[in-house]
């Protein structure tokens, strides 16, 4: 735990008792009773409990005057000896003090300088993050934030970034292939917005564009082997032979990519 004496901000590692706080950071105050958001929170709670049992650690939450105001979520990738930052989120106007995201990242960086059981008591070689260009007015985008902190671009993808923790280390991820047709992958995950804000939006955009196309929901908790076979994760949209890369908030690009895959790739579910 770290604490700022002047602004009364502290950073706590998530334990089972703090899972509720981890979820509340993500939920807008006016959506607490929304049934879709409630389902998202429930799925995140399941995900967090599983992650704690599996890895013993998954996230840190920033508090101001006892209220959760930001988070960073991460997971080890043992085969790469890296730690993947899945999310760093500080709601705009949520009461957090300036620099909260930096404090969260700094706390994680302090942890990863030490040997870890995840990697046979060796320290990780790098932190890895996937960002995106969009952001709220007045805030740095995730891409800008990580680059300012010294993260480097992986290959040609401006949103795939890494921070080397060992001198001379260059991160090279293992390429993954996906298969399938039109699937939306749901289930326990680290963000309660995934179901209402991402997956339901994907479904609506696809229905709007191609109302005749069947959409199957793949629940990771019910079909874990199927999820693994497709090399997919919760929140993915799979159209025919590939995972859709366009971010759903860019509606035109998302619909164009889905339409292109549906029109030009013929593979079975």
Is the pLDDT higher at 103 or at 134? 103
Q: How far is CA 191 from CA 23, 72, 130, 222, in A?
A: 7, 11, 15, 19
Q: Which two tokens stand for residue 64?
A: 């101001």
The predicted-structure confidence for 49-104, as pLDDT tens digits, reads as follows 999 998 898 999 999 988 999 999 999 998 899 999 999 999 876 666 788 999 99
Given a cut of 50, is residue 28 above it in pLDDT?
yes
pTM of the predicted model as reported, rounded to 2 decimal places: 0.68
Q: What is the pLDDT of residue 150?
A: 96
How many percent of the chain have pLDDT more than 70?
88
Q: What is the pLDDT of residue 119?
A: 92
pLDDT tier for residue 266 given thresholds of 50, 70 and 90: very low
Q: What is the pLDDT of residue 135?
A: 62
Q: What is the pLDDT of residue 213?
A: 86
Q: What is the pLDDT of residue 131?
A: 85
E strand or H helix that includes residue 242? strand 242-243
Is the pLDDT higher at 8 or at 204? 204
> Reduced to 3 states, what is the DSSP secondary structure of residue 255?
helix
pLDDT tier for residue 3 given thresholds of 50, 70 and 90: very low
pLDDT tier for residue 177 given thresholds of 50, 70 and 90: very low
Average pLDDT for residues 239-244, to the nearest whole number? 83
CATH of domain 2-164: 3.40.630.30
Single out the residue of 166, 170, 194, 174 nearest to residue 77, CA to CA.
174
Domain boundaries, the chain: 2-164, 183-264
Single out the residue of 262, 158, 133 nearest to residue 205, CA to CA.
262
Q: What is the pLDDT of residue 93?
A: 66
Mean pLDDT of the chain: 87
Q: What is the pLDDT of residue 137?
A: 67
Half-sphere exposure of 244 (CA within 13 A, CB side): 34
Q: What is the pLDDT of residue 133?
A: 67
pLDDT tier for residue 241 given thresholds of 50, 70 and 90: low
DSSP conformation letters of 205-228:
HHHHH-TTS--EEEETTT-HHHHH
Q: How far apart are CA 202 and CA 12, in angstroms?
A: 34
Average pLDDT for residues 153-180, to the nearest whole number? 80
Q: What is the pLDDT of residue 269?
A: 43
The predicted-structure confidence for 182-229, as pLDDT tens digits, reads as follows 899 999 998 999 999 999 999 999 988 888 888 999 999 998 888 888
Given a cut of 50, is residue 180 above it in pLDDT?
no
From the number of C-beta atoms within 10 Å of its C-beta (0-12, 13-18, 19+), residue 254 rates as: buried
Q: What is the pLDDT of residue 187?
A: 94
DSSP conformation letters of 151-202:
-EEETTEEEEEEEESSTT----PPP-----SSEEEESS-S-TTIIIIIIHHH
Q: What is the pLDDT of residue 168?
A: 94
């Amino acid at each position: 735990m770290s604490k700022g004496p002047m602004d009364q901000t502290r950073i706590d590692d998530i334990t089972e008792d703090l899972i509720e706080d981890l979820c509340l950071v993500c939920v807008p105050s006016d959506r607490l009773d929304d049934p879709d958001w409630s389902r998202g929170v429930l799925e995140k709670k399941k995900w967090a409990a599983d992650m704690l049992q599996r890895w013993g650690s998954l996230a840190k939450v920033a508090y101001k005057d006892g209220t959760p105001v930001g988070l960073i979520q991460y997971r080890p990738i043992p085969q790469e000896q890296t730690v993947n930052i899945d999310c760093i989120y500080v709601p705009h106007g949520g009461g957090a003090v300036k620099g909260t995201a930096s404090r969260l990242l700094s706390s994680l960086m302090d942890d990863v300088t030490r040997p870890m059981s995840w990697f046979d008591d060796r320290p990780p070689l790098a932190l890895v993050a996937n960002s995106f260009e969009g952001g709220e007015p007045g805030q740095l985008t995730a891409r800008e934030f990580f680059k300012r902190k010294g993260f480097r671009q992986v290959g040609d993808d401006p949103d795939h970034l890494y921070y080397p923790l060992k001198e001379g280390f260059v991160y090279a991820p293992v390429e993954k292939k996906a298969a399938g047709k039109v699937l939306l992958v749901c289930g326990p995950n680290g963000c309660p917005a995934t179901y209402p804000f991402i997956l339901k939006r994907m479904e609506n955009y696809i229905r709007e564009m191609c109302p005749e196309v069947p959409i199957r929901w793949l629940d990771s908790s019910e079909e874990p082997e199927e999820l693994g076979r497709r090399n997919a994760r919760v929140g993915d949209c799979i159209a025919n032979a590939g995972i859709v890369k366009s971010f759903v908030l860019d509606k035109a690009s998302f619909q164009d990519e889905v339409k292109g895959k549906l029109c030009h790739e013929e593979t079975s579910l």
